[in-house]
């Protein structure tokens, strides 16, 4: 019972953390995808929405349709990369059968990339600007915050032009 209370308290504290972080260089990574591999540096000059997720994550079920929509609407201007943290890839594949991804899905079963980014929970996403700086960090997924993320993306489009 005490562990549940501590976990709940930790989650509540995470919700109070700011949604933005000071601009810092996004850690480089190279990971396997469903069919090949992905490297963050390949997207230099572009905007990247980087999302860390796991098959057991309830909010991830809500974020995938939105990320599909984001990728579709801004296909020429933004790249969505979702990094799965399941140790067993089959669990991720089962999730993807129910919640297909129209964006790049990479696998980090050892959690090394998640550790480099300081991921505190699932899902956690990072908006990465064209020069590789982290513009913002979002913990969790709430429909009420989609417009905040999209306004940050729009502001990056403005600053690119």
Count of residues making up the chain: 161
Does residue 16 or residue 115 have the better pLDDT? 115
Task: Examine the pLDDT at 160 and tell me if it is beyond 80.
Answer: no
Mean pLDDT value of segment 125-148: 94
Does residue 1 or residue 139 have the better pLDDT? 139
Task: Examine the pLDDT at 51 and tell me if it is beyond 60.
Answer: yes
Distance CA 126, CA 100 (A): 21
Nearest to 124 by CA among 38, 71, 113: 113
Read off the pLDDT of residues 23-50 as tens digits, 9 standing for 90 and up. Answer: 699 999 999 999 999 999 999 999 999 9
| Partners of 31 in the β-ladder | 38
Q: Which domains does the chain have, with CATH numbers?
A: 18-160 (3.40.30.10)
Task: Examine the pLDDT at 120 and tell me if it is beyond 60.
Answer: yes
Mean pLDDT value of segment 72-96: 96
Tell me what pLDDT residue 23 has: 63
What are the DSSP calls for the chain, one per residue?
-HHHHHHHHHHHHHHHS-SB----BPPP-EEEESSSEEEGGGGTTSEEEEEEE-TT-HHHHHHHHHHHHHHHHTTTTEEEEEEE--SSHHHHHHHHHHS--SSEEEE-TT-HHHHHHT--SSSEEEEE-TTSBEEEEEES--GGGHHHHHHHHHHHHHHH-
Tell me what pLDDT residue 18 has: 41
Judge whether 106 and 84 are in contact, CB under 8 Å: yes
Tell me what pLDDT residue 161 has: 57
Share of residues in the chain with pLDDT > 70 (%): 84
Tell me what pLDDT residue 153 has: 87
Task: For the sheet with 78-84, list strands across it.
Answer: 37-39, 30-33, 104-107, 78-84, 47-53, 124-128, 134-139
Tell me what pLDDT residue 129 has: 95
What mean pLDDT value characterizes the chain?
Answer: 87
């Amino acid at each position: 019972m005490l562990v549940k209370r501590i976990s709940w308290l930790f989650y509540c504290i995470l919700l109070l953390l700011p949604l933005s972080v000071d601009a810092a260089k996004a850690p480089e990574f190279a990971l396997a995808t469903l069919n090949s591999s992905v490297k963050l540096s390949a997207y230099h000059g572009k905007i990247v929405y980087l999302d860390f997720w796991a098959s057991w994550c309830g909010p991830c079920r809500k974020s995938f349709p939105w990320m599909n929509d984001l990728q579709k609407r801004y296909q020429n201007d933004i790249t969505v990369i979702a990094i799965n943290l399941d140790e067993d890839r089959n669990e991720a594949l089962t999730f993807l059968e129910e919640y297909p991804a129209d964006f790049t899905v990479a696998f980090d079963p050892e959690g090394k990339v998640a550790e480099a980014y300081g991921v505190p929970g699932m899902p956690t996403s990072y908006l990465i600007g064209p020069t590789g700086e982290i513009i913002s960090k979002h913990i969790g997924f709430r429909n009420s915050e989609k417009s905040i993320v999209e306004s940050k993306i729009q502001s990056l489009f403005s600053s690119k032009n």
